[in-house]
Chain A
Amino acid sequence: MTATSATTTTTTTTTTTTTSRRRETDAQVGLVIFLGATAMLFAALLLAYAIIRAQVPGAWPPAGTPPFPRGAAAANTIALVAASLALRRGRHWGPWAALGFGAAFLAAQAALWHHLVAIHLGPGAGPLGEVFFALSALHALHVLGGLIALALAGPRRLRLLTIYWDFVLVVWLVVYVAVCLL
């Protein structure tokens, strides 16, 4: 009986490492499925944008729409790229730097929306501004979710958070190219 317990103890130690490794993989699988669902959300919004755009008579954006401040929107990208890079720079300060960059991105987006409303590109002022607002607002909510996850789980869930923040960056790039450039 004593011998058996000794064996069991060693088995348990190895089991714990395997278990935590498997749990990590479980979490990554779950995250990828969740991001697939999120991608469908943005794909549906982009489809809505395509249909709206296809139905506008004449050139896009419709005549009388003020020019979109592409530069300001592009500048905000830097904060998101910095957050993704910071997460790759290690456990010590990476997550906290990413937290700062992410918050800076949200502040910059809020400033951009404020500016857009001022130049008549906000909600209720024509399709271009509305499409950008809807997509960027939904995106901002996902950035906010990422910030909360960083604050709560920070260094412990670094790999998962890196995947998530890369996804948020890619979504933003797609939104920017589709709405602001094309």
Chain B
Amino acid sequence: MNTNANADAGDDGPTAEDRDEIPPAPTGFLRRWVFSTDHKVIGRQFLFLGLGFLAIGGVMAMLIRWQLARPGAPVPLVGRLLFGASGGVISPVAYTALFTMHGTIMIFFAVTPVLIGGFGNFLLPLLIGARDMAFPRLNMASFWIMFAATAVLTASFFVPLGPPEAGWTAYATLSTAIGAPGPGQTLWVVAIYLNGASSVMGAVNYITTVLRMRAPGMTYLRMPLTVWGFFLTSILNALFVPVLAAAMVLLFFDRVLGTQFFIAGTTPGAGGDPILYQHLFWLFGHPEVYILILPAWGIVGDLLSFFARKPLFGYRVTVGALIGVVILSTVVYGHHMFTTGLSPLLGESFMLLTMIISVPTSLIVLSWLGTLWRGAIRLQTPMLFCLGLVFTFGVGGLTGLYLADITADMYLHDTYFVVGHFHLIMAAALLMSLFAAIYFWFPKMFGRMMSEGLGKLHFWLTFVPLNLVFMGQLVIGYEGMQRRLYDPSVYDFLKPLLPLNRGISHAAYLLGAAQLIFVVNFFASLARGARAEMNPWEVGTLEWTVASPPPHHNFDRIPLVVRGPHELAHPAARSLGRDWLGQAEIVDDAPAASPTPPAREPA
């Protein structure tokens, strides 16, 4: 029985009370929708900004695939418009700029804002039972600095000598004034710096929010894995984005003030070291992989449990494994530099550490499989995308072992095998988690349901071509095709790969076209979807105890949390005629962890 909704103000004690004043909702268009300090509005702003750039980055991928399928042929439809000077053909310079900006946009301006900025903002306070972030105005500033970063990055397309062409890693000396004399690369540096500033501001906010704003009873081991994911990601962000910032500062000085941090020996006895840039970049760059994947792991862990209607298998072990990955992720970056010329001793240490990171990662995968085992699985759209992640992450993770091995990496490095590997993780697995999150929380964000039919169609037309594209890349990489080649067919030994490249491109076009289904579903549901109930997925985490969409102050009363997030198939829920218990729900015949009455309104 759902007892007691009539908890009195004085009964909860000071811990429940002292955050319990309801802030007034802002009025006026600008304060509500533009310069809002409401985490739910800021989350949606990040979501739309990121989805916009995801579309731009996706179109760039299509153009790259066109060039690899039909080298030197004019691009149909948009060719004249985009590449008018070369008669619709993608020139080598434009091709280099395309893959540079595709990588930059996808990593820094699409996945980061959607997953961390969008869902992190929207979900964190709701999932831990708070009214807002710890620092709402810092949160607003974080969004607008990200917005400024996108403006600076966009400006780099319209300057003399064009956008940057140094790859998303911007290795010196490709990115110093010698390799990139135009202002485009300088704008890129500024954009990445601003992007990093936004990430660090977000991280400070997220960490403080999780440390300080949890509802009474929300212990660390009662937090949903999604919260753990964002929390650990924020710690990595706070520690390692500043290292990238340091690299950007030095690169900026090299380009603008004429210093020589990354330029080797032009003055006798002086001079910096291009490899120094690689060290700084990957010191950040490897944790960045985990910065992006940790929230995905968190979301998928929760959702697999929800849709298998079972508690998560090994919650504590999973949390420990997540923490283990975070710690190990800080000491493996050297595996990006095996072919740079590391000391063999360093190389072997990095190889060993990289191999060790597969131990906690395997525990996380084991937890997913254990959760699915004998579950009462509901194959709704979010679950399909989660299962898609389990598969693509599995394949992507296993191919990582080849690259972690120095001798294999000597051959595979800088081939399409690397491209296939990191796309299986950074593109396939992340896109799967991102879509799972959108389909799952769309009702809470916008108060309407998305179409299940279109969602399932979208899943299959994404999942199948996605794997064809990225596994095809593994194959052509294994055959020896280097990445970043403008026209592989100029090399005799790569000529036989042209049909395979065409096949991959056709799968890529299908993948791109399938996203239109998502766009239609998203906007049609936004306008005319069925009204979402408070708890359409029948799960127990706190965001589902408030209206869809939630009111400005989230919770009328701060909830009192009495159990963990995955209480499904709970025997005590049988008397209620369902199979789940809410995190803040007191049930007569369930042993409650806290004797205090709940502070939650009845559902």
**Which residues of A come within 8 Å of B, CB atoms?**
7-8, 11-12, 15-16, 18-19, 22, 25-27, 29-30, 33-34, 36-38, 40-41, 43-45, 47-48, 51-52, 55-58, 62-64, 123-124, 126-127, 130, 133-134, 138
Contact of A33 (CB < 8 Å), options: B9, B238, B247, B261: B238
Instruction: Report if B245 contacts A (CB, 8 A).
Output: yes
- Contact yes or no, B135 A15, CB < 8 A: no
Closest approach, in angstroms, between the C-beta of A51 and any C-beta of chain B? 5
A41 in contact with B270 given A123-B258, A124-B257, A130-B259 (CB within 8 Å): no
CA distance in complex: A25, B18 (Å): 13
Q: Pick from B43-51, B157-165, B199-207, B513-521 the stretch touching chain A.
A: B199-207
Does B76 have its Cβ within 8 Å of any Cβ on chain A? no
Given A62-B269, A64-B269, A130-B259, the answer on whether A25 and B212 have CB atoms closer than 8 Å is yes
Complex CA–CA separation, A57 to B269 (angstroms): 7
Classify chain B: how many residues form its interface, as a range.
35 or more
Q: Does B588 contact A (CB under 8 A)?
A: no
Find out whether the CB atom of B18 lies under 8 angstroms from the CB atom of A18.
yes
Please tell me if the beta carbons of A41 and B245 are within 8 angstroms of each other in the complex: yes
A55-B273 CB under 8 A given contacts A19-B18, A48-B246: yes
Please tell me if B276 contacts chain A, counting CB pairs below 8 Å: yes
Q: Within the assembled complex, what's the spacing in Å between the Cα atoms of A161 and B249? A: 26
B125-148 contact mask (Cβ, 8 Å, vs A): 1 or 0: 000000000110010000000000
Binding site secondary structure of chain B: helix
CB distance from B14 to the nearest CB of A (A): 6
Q: List B148-172 residues whose CB lies under 8 Å from chain A.
A: none
CB distance from B333 to the nearest CB of A (A): 12
Instruction: Give the shortest distance, in Å, between B144 (CB) and chain A (any CB).
Output: 17
CB of B239 within 8 A of CB of A37, answer yes
Determine if B279 is an interface residue (Cβ-Cβ < 8 Å).
yes
Is there a chain A Cβ closer than 8 Å to B21's Cβ? Answer: yes
Contact A37 B200, CB 8 Å, known A52-B273, A124-B260, A130-B260: yes
Q: Which residue of A lies closest to B279 (CB)?
A: A51
Q: Is A33 in contact with B207, judged by CB distance below 8 angstroms?
A: yes
Decide if B270 touches A126 in the complex (CB within 8 Å). Answer: yes
In the complex, whether B271 has a CB less than 8 A from a CB of chain A is yes
Asked whether any CB of chain A lies closer than 8 Å to the CB of B10, the reply is yes
Can you give 29 contacting A-B residue pairs, CB < 8 Å?
Answer: A11-B9, A16-B21, A19-B18, A22-B19, A29-B134, A29-B207, A30-B134, A34-B238, A37-B204, A40-B238, A40-B240, A41-B246, A44-B243, A44-B280, A45-B250, A47-B279, A47-B280, A48-B246, A48-B250, A48-B276, A52-B272, A63-B269, A124-B258, A126-B270, A127-B260, A130-B253, A133-B253, A134-B249, A134-B259
B247 to chain A minimum Cβ distance, whole angstroms, is 7
Residues of A within 8 A of B250 (CB): 45, 48, 134
Q: Which residues of A contact B383 (CB under 8 A)?
A: none
A25 to chain B, nearest CB (A): 7
A8 to B21 alpha-carbon distance, docked (Å):
11
Is B5 an interface residue when CB atoms closer than 8 A count as contact?
A: no
